[in-house]
Chains A and B, each alone.
Chain A
Amino acid sequence: KAGVTQTPRYLIKTRGQQVTLSCSPISGHRSVSWYQQTPGQGLQFLFEYFSETQRNKGNFPGRFSGRQFSNSRSEMNVSTLELGDSALYLCASRGRVEDSPLHFGNGTRLTVT
Chain B
Amino acid sequence: SQQGEEDPQALSIQEGENATMNCSYKTSINNLQWYRQNSGRGLVHLILIRSNEREKHSGRLRVTLDTSKKSSSLLITASRAADTASYFCATDRSGATNKLIFGTGTLLAVQP
Q: Do A and B bind each other?
A: no
